Amino acid sequence: MIVALDGPAASGKGTLARRLAEAFDLAYLDTGSLYRATGVATLRAGGDPAQEFDAVSAAKTLDLTLFSSADLRTEEAGVAASQVAFIPGVRAALLDFQRNFAKNPPDGKTGAVLDGRDIGTVVCPDADVKIFVEASLETRVARRVKELQEKGENIIEARVRADMKARDDRDKDRSVAPLVPAGDAWILDTSDLDADQAFAQAKAYILSKTRR
């Protein structure tokens, strides 16, 4: 079984995807980590994440073992990820990795949960379950500010909002794999849901699909 979860930053899809993978005993891949790692690798090499040659070079030589979770969860990594994801050559370099993970999940798992921005539309268009997780911009900004404050970072809310809005626009307007729900995706708006409520609804939906 392949479960595709898509949605914008801070919509709650990452937490939801991990919980669903655990609940259904499926492998889990945060595909955004691939793009975040590519972005960070580009910066580490002194390159520009918005420049095709720099970003594609990083994607083709990517080694996820060189990055810690902390490296990939910064705002800088998120912005760089959105920049490299705009580049067709980067997406092509990482597409095979994602599809292979979905079709051949590790550790003997019988399926996989992948979360990202184009899983249901491009990476796994034949996924058994497609969920598009969304939330209002204000809700997502509040979540991200809280997350960063808990990490001890000095945060300017207006900057977080501006960065998130700019990232949303880049993701939605790019010519390659824009951030849009698949035609057959179930829309889950988490604006007024906590993590447990979102999980319960998504789990029920998956069960309704797999019991047919």
Q: Mean pLDDT score of the chain, rounded to an integer?
A: 92
Residue 133 has pLDDT above 90, yes or no: yes
Q: How confident is the model at residue 212 (pLDDT cuts 50, 70, 90)?
A: low
Average confidence (pLDDT) over 164-168: 90
Q: Please give the C-alpha separations between residue 155 and each of 130, 150, 164, in angstroms, as whole numbers.
A: 34, 10, 13
Q: Which ranges constitute the DSSP H helices of 61-194?
A: 69-72, 75-84, 88-103, 137-150, 157-173
Sign of CA dihedral 88, 189, 3, 125: negative
Residue 155 has pLDDT above 80, yes or no: yes
Look at domain 2-210 and name its CATH class.
alpha beta
Dihedral angle, C-alpha 3, 133, 191, 16, nearest 10 °: 30
Residue 172 has pLDDT above 90, yes or no: no
Q: How confident is the model at residue 70 (pLDDT cuts 50, 70, 90)?
A: confident
Among residues 144, 129, 26, 42, the alpha carbon closest in space to that of 89 is found at: 42
Domain residue limits, the chain: 2-210
Residue 2 has pLDDT above 80, yes or no: yes
Write out pLDDT tens, residues 73-121: 888 998 898 899 889 899 899 998 899 899 999 899 999 999 999 999 9
